[in-house]
Amino acid sequence: MTNLVLETIKNRRSVLRFESTSIEEEKIEAVLEAGRWAPSWLNKQPWSFIVIRDESAKKRLSEVVPTVFKQGLREAPVCIAVVVDPKEDPYHFVEDGAVATQNMALAAYSLGLHSYWIGIFDIENQKKSSEARVRQILEIPETRRVISLLPLGHATGAIPEKQRKPRDQIVHQNKFGKR
């Protein structure tokens, strides 16, 4: 059984390098709408999205993230920071921000764009973490949490193949271990 949503999920790839080609504003708006319509616990919608186009900000952010993500973050024409307010829901804010990020990544792919997800949060060491540095660069209040950075653009180079474990290795019936 196939449909557009399932094909988008199966074919989306994390792409770490981007062309400098700009992204049409309508596509950015559509990606943001996908994040806005993500499900959240009790419909709290604890997220905010920061659209980052400024080259200097992207360069400073690239200095905070793991090495593998640096160049792509600088190259991407747009990056979206997903920020949540834990006061809205202190128990599910990470999941809610993650769902919004995934919705945006899937929407981007469906619109002919590519992305990759940079997770930022460090629960144990918020004051010294990369999250704290991202909050400082983007002037995010300390009461908010950064869930992810999502660089967006047109892929450059080869798109990686995607491998998944066979279903019989990960699916259980009624009880764990019962295949």
Q: Is residue 167 part of a domain?
A: no
Q: Is residue 131 part of a domain?
A: yes
Phi, psi of 83 (to 5 degrees): -120, 140
Q: Is residue 140 part of a domain?
A: yes
On the 0-12 / 13-18 / 19+ scale of CB atoms within 10 A, 162 is exposed
Average confidence (pLDDT) over 122-151: 85
pLDDT for 160: 78
Residue 76 near residue 58, CB atoms below 8 Å:
yes
Closest to 117 (Cα-Cα) out of 53, 72, 63? 72
Number of domains in the chain: 1
Q: Is residue 15 part of a domain?
A: no
**Per-residue pLDDT tens digits for 35-74:** 999 999 999 999 999 999 999 999 999 999 888 899 999 9
Q: What is the CATH number of the domain that holds 59?
A: 3.40.109.10
For residue 127, give its domain range. 21-157
Q: Is residue 175 part of a domain?
A: no
